[in-house]
Amino acid sequence: MREMPHIPDEKIDSADTDGTAEKETSLKASALAQPQHMELLVSSMSAHGIAVTVGRKVVSCLREGGWDVSVRVTTPDEDPEEVAAASQAPLLGALGGDGYLSAVACGVHRSGALFVPFPGGRGNDLCRALGIGTDAVARARSLLKGFTEQELDGIRITDPHGNSRIVLGIVSFGFDALANRIANDTSWLRRGSLTYAYGALSALRTHRPTPLLATVDGVEEDLGGWLTSVSNSGWFGGGINLVPSSRIGDGQIELVHIGPLPMRQAIRVLAQVLVTRGENPAMTVRSVREITVHTPEGVIAMADGDYVGETPLTMTAEPHVARVLV
């Protein structure tokens, strides 16, 4: 991987946007008592440059609070996971969208650094799940007041050749995956929730329930229908808390399913689940250990806002991906 030269902070435009209990106490005290050194990776691509736009104020806020911050803006030809894995910084921050934060977290998984995520995309669902919120500058200010350390789990996705990757949010195969793909291709909407809503409306015109054969904890099942997802954090789509019972650090994953329904009924159920955030008996949620989606082959899976593979795929819980400061 080619090393990129350091990009000075002036390259980042300004913006108007604003363990155990003993270990947590120690971390809070250290945040208040002495400066911290952090390398901050900033995505040049997330949400059409939003991360770069807010980056200068984030860095200024941290430095004014006594932190020693070095900045690296990653370019499209760099792999943020590899950049993060090669970093020697004790605290590694990441400012970008969900896919970017997920990649950096995987690099931290290899390097052992403490992970410090900042929201800088259209969706910011990881930061919502962690209770960080969607304002990067407010996140920086909160770190100056103190912080705690939390375990961050993930989902390992493995293909038949043994290739695998870790994601942090929700892996989607059905209607929700198609909505995500359409949203990614929509550049004229900036907000994640509005973009996903547009994707969902468009997906209704083309998605039709089909069989989706899988093995769930050793039992063969048909998971076909309108929505088939595997949840770690519970959040996706730029602010949709699909699975409120999901906890990002509990080592568990949940299977979410809405089976075949007539179109009119499906619209009501999906609106209730995705728009009004209400529960519906047509949607089932259960904790599982391992899921393999077999056929049909070539069904696209989406997670953390990105394409992550095509069936057949196996998903398992991946505990202790990183230690994150919140």
Same-domain check for residues 180 and 316: yes
Same-domain check for residues 141 and 170: no
Per-residue DSSP letter, 17: -
CA 266 to chain centre: 27
Same-domain check for residues 26 and 122: yes
55 CB contacts (<8 Å, ≥6 apart)? 9, 12, 13, 40, 42, 71, 73, 95, 120
Q: What is the pLDDT of residue 2?
A: 32
Domain tally for the chain? 2
Same-domain check for residues 234 and 300: yes
How far is residue 73 from each of residues 23, 43, 51, 96, 154, measured CA to CA in Å?
A: 32, 6, 10, 10, 25
Q: What is the pLDDT of residue 34?
A: 53
Question: Is residue 326 included in any domain, yes or no?
Answer: no
Question: Is residue 4 included in any domain, yes or no?
Answer: no
Residue type, 24: E
| pLDDT surpassing 50 at residue 29 | no
Identify the domain containing residue 201 by its residue range. Answer: 155-320
Q: What is the pLDDT of residue 181?
A: 76
Same-domain check for residues 103 and 164: no
Same-domain check for residues 15 and 51: yes
Q: What is the pLDDT of residue 151?
A: 95
Is the previous residue joined to 244 through a cis bond, with omega within 30 degrees of 0? no
pLDDT band at 320 (very low <50, low <70, confident <90, very high): very high
**For residues 138-163, average pLDDT:** 95
pTM value is 0.84
The fraction of the chain above a pLDDT of 90, given in percent, is: 65
pLDDT band at 188 (very low <50, low <70, confident <90, very high): low
Domain boundary residue, one of 111, 129, 147: 147
Q: What is the pLDDT of residue 65?
A: 93
| pLDDT surpassing 50 at residue 203 | yes
Same-domain check for residues 252 and 124: no
Q: Is 89 exposed, middle or buried (0-12, 13-18, 19+ CB in 10 A)?
A: buried
The pair of three-digit structure tokens given for residue 21, joined into one six-digit string: 């209990």
Q: What is the pLDDT of residue 187?
A: 59
Average the pLDDT over each of 5-9, 75-79, 110-114, 209-213 and give the range with the smallest value: 5-9
| pLDDT surpassing 80 at residue 186 | no
| pLDDT surpassing 50 at residue 99 | yes
Average the pLDDT over each of 3-12, 176-185, 295-304 and give the range with the smallest value: 3-12
